[in-house]
């Protein structure tokens, strides 16, 4: 595996759902070239059609979190679901980058100095690394928008495409 700088990522349930509903192969590319994706076993309950064997096939590492962390996540922060709180705590504990589109989770990550990325951002690293073209990333982003238009708006896709084109220019 050739993860960039040994980066470790945790994707929240919504980002996993977005990629699973559209293009699962992107998860493998992310895990192999951007940073290993870690998914707490407990979080799999939130993502239909993703189990441990599918995670293994996609190069996603299923991790068992300590019971104390699971229990602490149950003492939720206002505005965070149990699973979002779990992502925050696991990222902080493990030194992982949290990949989420949830504004509240992003703010909590920032407050805890946990690195954070938007859900589409790992594809920018794939473009910059030559593992994905802008056209492929655009197709994935548009399909995610179609399946999740409330949270991945046309504006978000447009801003992503501008950044994708800039990432592609850097590799020329």
For residue 1, is pLDDT > 60? no
Please state the pTM of the whole predicted model.
0.92
Q: What is the pLDDT of residues 87-102, one digit of tens each?
A: 999 999 999 999 999 9
Q: What is the pLDDT of residues 71-130, one digit of tens each?
A: 999 987 888 999 999 999 999 999 999 999 999 999 999 999 999 999 999 999 999 999
Q: Are 42 and 65 in contact (CB under 8 A)?
A: yes
Which domains can be identified in the chain, with CATH numbers?
Answer: 4-117 (3.40.50.1010), 122-170 (no CATH)
CA 134/CA 128 separation, integer angstroms = 10
Could you tell me the two tokens for 19? Answer: 């990629």
CA 40/CA 52 separation, integer angstroms = 10
What's the angle, vertex CA 18, arms to CA 107 and CA 41, rounded to 5?
75
- Host H or E run for residue 99: strand 97-99
Q: Return the pLDDT at 66.
A: 94
Residue scoring higher pLDDT (2 or 53): 53
Among 32, 33, 37, CA closest to 127: 33
Q: Which residues pair with 37 in a beta bridge?
A: 9
The dihedrals phi and psi of 162, each to the nearest 5 degrees, come to -60, -45
Q: Return the pLDDT at 5.
A: 60
- What is the crossing angle of helices 82-94 and 103-111, to 10°? 30
Q: Are 124 and 163 in contact (CB under 8 A)?
A: yes
H helices within the chain, ranges in order?
Answer: 13-22, 25-33, 52-57, 67-73, 82-94, 103-111, 122-128, 134-147, 154-170
């Amino acid at each position: 595996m050739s993860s960039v700088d040994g980066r470790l990522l945790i994707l929240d349930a919504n980002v996993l759902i977005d990629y699973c509903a559209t293009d699962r192969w992107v998860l493998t590319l992310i895990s192999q070239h951007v940073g290993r994706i870690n998914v707490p076993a407990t979080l799999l309950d939130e993502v239909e059609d993703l189990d441990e064997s599918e995670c293994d096939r996609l190069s996603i590492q299923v991790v068992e979190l300590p019971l104390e962390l699971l229990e602490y996540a149950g003492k939720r922060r206002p505005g965070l679901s149990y699973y979002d709180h779990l992502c925050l705590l696991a990222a902080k504990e493990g030194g992982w980058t949290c990949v989420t589109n949830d504004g509240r989770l992003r703010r909590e990550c920032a407050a805890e100095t946990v690195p954070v990325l938007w859900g589409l951002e790992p594809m920018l690293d794939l473009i910059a690394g030559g593992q994905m073209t802008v056209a492929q990333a655009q197709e994935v982003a548009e399909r995610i928008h179609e399946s999740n238009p409330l949270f991945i708006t046309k504006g978000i896709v447009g801003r992503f495409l501008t950044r994708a084109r800039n990432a592609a220019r850097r590799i020329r």
